[in-house]
């Protein structure tokens, strides 16, 4: 099997250590593979050990360095201990990718307190605990780069108000930290994907998948993004090429976030070339293909 076809040069991240939360599935899995293909030692964090171990084994089989770290990012004490352990064992922590998150489809009035807290606690608070711990235990003294994966919530997020609120908060947090931590050589950015052709689509009920399959590709690009197209943006923000980029949220959405009303006829067939360098792309529901 051919390895990951990254657009970045081989060895670019040799010797670096990068923590990827939510690294066992979907976009996080793809990001972890690309980082490892460039020489990074990737620490895969997530709640479920099985997917993490599987991805670590995939990366090792491809010749990369990876390890699984079962971790609930909602638990600030566990997060702080885990980050401290990474630094103690591996001697550094050059980058963090805050990819872990989760949400469920619901109209706002029907979201129960438990569901609201769960989404906010993961998507916002978990991101913060990981980010703060990385800063305290390594980056305050040595610099580094942090990238958070958010979402296309620029015009609100009807149907998922909880995650829209959390992701918007992470964007604002990214801007604040970029200013506060610049003097320590810490860059803080975010990537906001639009709809992505990812195995994570399986997590939604059939009726939500059916609706999404019909609506997701109705953007100026007339298609969904690949996981690799999101990953390459995340990786760029971790590299020296982005040395002067901080406090920025990069939109990877085929210009979908710019469409306000259907005043302009959108293409039914995409003419934009597709980039998919991920050699282990997971299956997605057939209706999205």
For 119-175, the DSSP string reads HHIIIIIIHHHHHHHHIIIIIHHH-EEEEEE----BTB-TT-HHHHHHHHHHHHHHH
Is 40 within the bounds of a domain? yes
Q: Quick one: pLDDT at residue 288?
A: 55
The domain tally of the chain equals 1
Residue 219: per-residue pLDDT: 83
Instruction: Give me the CATH number covering residue 101.
Output: 3.40.50.720
The answer to the question of residue 6 being in a domain is no
The pLDDT of residue 287 is 59
> What is residue 273's predicted lDDT score, i.e. its pLDDT?
83
244 domain residue, yes or no? yes
10-residue mean pLDDT profile of the chain (289 residues): values are 90 98 96 98 97 98 98 98 98 98 91 96 98 98 98 91 97 98 98 82 67 73 90 98 98 89 62 82 67
- Domain hosting residue 168, numbered range: 17-288
pLDDT at position 283: 73
- In whole angstroms, give the CA distance from residue 43 to residue 67: 5
> Exposure string (b/e) for 70-102, b if CB count within 10 Å is 16 or more?
bbbbbebeebbebbeebbeebeebbbbbbbbbe
Q: Please report whether residue 4 resides in a domain.
A: no
Q: What is the pLDDT of residue 1?
A: 62
Judge whether 231 and 7 are in contact, CB under 8 Å. no
Instruction: Tell whether 1 is covered by a domain.
Output: no
Residue 65 belongs to some domain of the structure:
yes
User: What element of type H or E holds 73?
Assistant: none
The reply to whether 268 falls in a domain is yes
- pTM as predicted: 0.88
């Amino acid at each position: 099997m051919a390895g990951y076809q990254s657009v970045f040069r081989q060895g670019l991240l040799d010797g670096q250590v990068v923590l990827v939360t939510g690294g066992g599935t979907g976009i996080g899995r793809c990001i972890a593979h690309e980082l490892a293909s460039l020489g990074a030692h990737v620490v895969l964090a997530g709640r479920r050990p099985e997917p993490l171990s599987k991805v670590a084994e995939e990366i090792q089989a491809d010749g990369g360095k990876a390890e699984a770290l079962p971790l609930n990012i909602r638990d600030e004490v566990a997060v702080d201990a885990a980050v401290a352990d990474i630094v103690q064992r591996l001697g550094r922590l050059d980058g963090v990718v805050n990819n872990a998150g989760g949400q469920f489809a619901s109209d706002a009035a029907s979201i129960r307190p438990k569901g609201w807290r769960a989404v906010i606690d993961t998507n916002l608070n978990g991101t913060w605990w990981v980010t703060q711990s990385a800063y305290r235990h390594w980056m305050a003294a040595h610099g580094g780069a942090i990238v958070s994966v958010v979402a296309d919530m620029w015009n609100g997020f009807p149907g998922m108000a909880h995650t829209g609120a959390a992701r918007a908060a992470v964007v604002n947090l990214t801007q604040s930290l970029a200013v506060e931590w610049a003097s320590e050589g810490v860059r803080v950015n975010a990537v906001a994907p639009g709809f992505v052709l990812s195995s994570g689509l399986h997590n939604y009920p059939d009726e939500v998948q059916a609706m999404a399959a019909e609506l997701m590709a109705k953007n100026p690009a007339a298609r969904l993004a690949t996981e690799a197209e999101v990953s390459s943006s995340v990786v760029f923000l971790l590299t020296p090429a982005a040395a002067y980029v901080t406090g920025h949220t990069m939109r990877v959405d085929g210009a979908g976030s710019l469409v306000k009303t259907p005043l302009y006829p959108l293409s039914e067939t995409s003419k934009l070339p597709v980039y998919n360098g991920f050699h282990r792309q997971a299956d997605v529901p057939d209706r999205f293909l």
